[in-house]
Chains A and B, each alone.
Chain A
């Protein structure tokens, strides 16, 4: 089951904040986040394994709400380098399949 990401696109000015959401219709084992620049491969940002877990990476952080079956990615004081498409990947709980399904992505554009 493919997770649903929202919004589809965001345009920000440098220094502004953004939140990207990832929701699943199934209970999740893990959620992981990636950023992809145009013409490049996706790059791993972080993975969340436990409900209530929060992680941070520079000014980018994420949370995992297991009960709501969703995760949110927070980008604080955005920089030009944050521009790209952000994908969440989810693994369904109790399947032991070891595979992830990705959302369709959120395109983030940071302008000067």
Chain B
């Protein structure tokens, strides 16, 4: 099925380790997003991209970096993981703004990250 695929689904890191989360979409969407969701909380925007080669900071960007070298992929990197980054990470995509903007976000199934 078409959609947003996130890898990995689960990961346990030690403090100070680094990792990259991969998000891939096959809907030809222009916009892609990384959100984190802490237990019982809403979604907090980390970084986003409005097109290939572009990235921008969201509400909680510190400690994370992103890259969008190809339109279909959006990578989220943690350079030096900290326990405060324990969370569920969701990637999402959308067609973007414009006269045909009647679609919301399509979310991936999430990555559960624990930093010990």
Contacts and interface: CB of A to CB of B under 8 A. Distances in A.
A15 B76 CA distance: 43
Given A30-B101, A87-B43, A105-B42, A99 B58 contact: yes
Interface residues of B, number: 27
A96 B105 contact: no
Contact of B41 (A43, A101, A104): A104
Contact of B104 (A2, A32, A98, A104): A32
A56 to B, nearest CB: 14
Contacts of A100: 33, 45, 105
B104 A89 contact: yes
A42 B92 CA distance: 10
B62 interface: no
B50 interface: yes
Contacts of B110: 41
B74 interface: no
Contact of B90 (A32, A42, A104): A42
A91 B104 CA distance: 11
Interface of B: 31, 33, 35, 41-45, 48, 50, 56, 58-59, 90, 94, 96-97, 101-110
